[in-house]
Chains A and B, each alone.
Chain A
Amino acid sequence: MKIGVLVLEGPYQHQAADSAYHFVKAALARGHEIVGIFLYTDGVNNANGYIKPPGERNIAERYSELASQGIDVIACTACARFRGFRRDMVVENVRLGGLGALADQLKAADRFVTFGD
């Protein structure tokens, strides 16, 4: 099955970003295809390459890892602007994109799963 994923919450404050990551890993392990991950609203902060949590899981590296496997991980450009999140701060392999990219993922997916509050 082709699955798209939307993340609406940022790192560490809320379970959503962790749940989305584990969901994607589990779906891939079952042989499903992930057509894309869209990081929306505070979700863009999951792609901050400067995240360095002492002794804890690195959520940004996790999304970078998924993107390195060929999954299109996109952080919302406008949301990034609202949060002072500069293009040069985006973690490796993740890119910024607009709502048109979300529309493309919606069209490409058989199922679209949202993680948020």
Chain B
Amino acid sequence: MENTVAVLMRKAPYGSVYTAEGLRSILGIGVFEIDVRVLFVDDGVYALVKNQDPSVLDMKSLGDAFPSLPEFGVSSFTVHAPSLAERGLSVEDLVIDAELVDDAGAAALLASAGTVLPF
């Protein structure tokens, strides 16, 4: 199978383990010669918002981790623009430079990946 894995971030960064574990999986499999692409949709876009402070939850900010992912060989970040707009957010609010896509662009990215890992 083509070694392209799309990691799909669908959920808010806190409240369930999904986004945190999606991030760990990116770090975990990215080093095994797998081309990892990350797509943020729905509440998943909140994972990229600047100045997250989950200290009141005794948790660490996930937003701080994404800018360092290129050091681990993962630098393909795509955000579903309608999800961003529906939440009153824009690219200026995000911790990384991400490519914006519409519905068709998101679908094309998922279709082109050998595997999709939904978190």
Contacts and interface: CB of A to CB of B under 8 A. Distances in A.
A98 interface: yes
Interface residues of B, number: 19
Interface string B31-71: 01010000000000000000000000000000000000000
Contacts of A6: 117
28 contacts: A6-B117, A40-B21, A40-B25, A41-B17, A98-B28, A99-B25, A99-B28, A99-B29, A100-B28, A100-B32, A102-B25, A102-B28, A103-B28, A104-B32, A106-B1, A106-B5, A106-B29, A106-B114, A106-B115, A108-B1, A109-B115, A110-B1, A111-B1, A112-B115, A112-B116, A114-B116, A114-B118, A116-B119
Given A100-B28, A103-B28, A107-B1, 9 more contacts: A41-B17, A41-B18, A102-B25, A103-B29, A106-B29, A106-B115, A112-B1, A116-B18, A117-B16
